[in-house]
Amino acid sequence: MNDEDIKRILAIDYGAKRIGLALSDPLLIFAYNYKTILNDDKLWNNLDQVIKERQVVKIILGIPYQLNGNLSSNAPAILKFKELLFKRYALDIIEWDESNSSQKAKEIIIQTVSGRKKRRDKGLIDMGSASIILQEYLNSLN
């Protein structure tokens, strides 16, 4: 497989303070935690770098829903972010229900990360949530 053949999907767990990122493997089978970036003035430079270096061809964006099926209160900010993503990158951006992804990520962290201090790292939860969102999407392709 040449470097030109390596294409990846990026999942984003958007937050007002931090944004969790996960990437697919080149075969689009597995999702893995990539990094957490701050939602600050360096956001777009950081995303530019990830999308270019990792040859991202599609973005999966987590959208939060309430138990009753309505969008949650932070959904408008995420949908605005989606518009900005599309204008900047012109990639296919798929909205994915991220309900319970943070809770699932916390459970995985408790099982796999030793040390209470490391478990409290909210960046781990953001990355883990993005990874869960992406894995659910990848599983839906099969």
pLDDT at 106: 55
* Under 8 Å between Cβ of 84 and 93: no
pLDDT tens track for 10-37:
999 999 999 999 999 999 999 999 999 9
**Chain mean pLDDT for the chain:** 84
Model pTM score: 0.83
d(CA 97, CA 25) in angstroms, rounded, equals 21
Q: For 32-55, what is the mean pLDDT?
A: 96
pLDDT for res 100? 66
Which CATH number goes with the domain that contains 16? 3.30.420.140
Distance between CA atoms of residues 115 and 6, nearest Å: 35
Cα 35 from Cα 80, distance rounded (Å): 22
User: How many structural domains does the chain have?
Assistant: 1
Residue 96 tokens read as 């994915």
Residues 97-114: tens digit of each pLDDT: 887 655 655 555 555 555
Domain enclosing residue 53, as ranges: 3-140
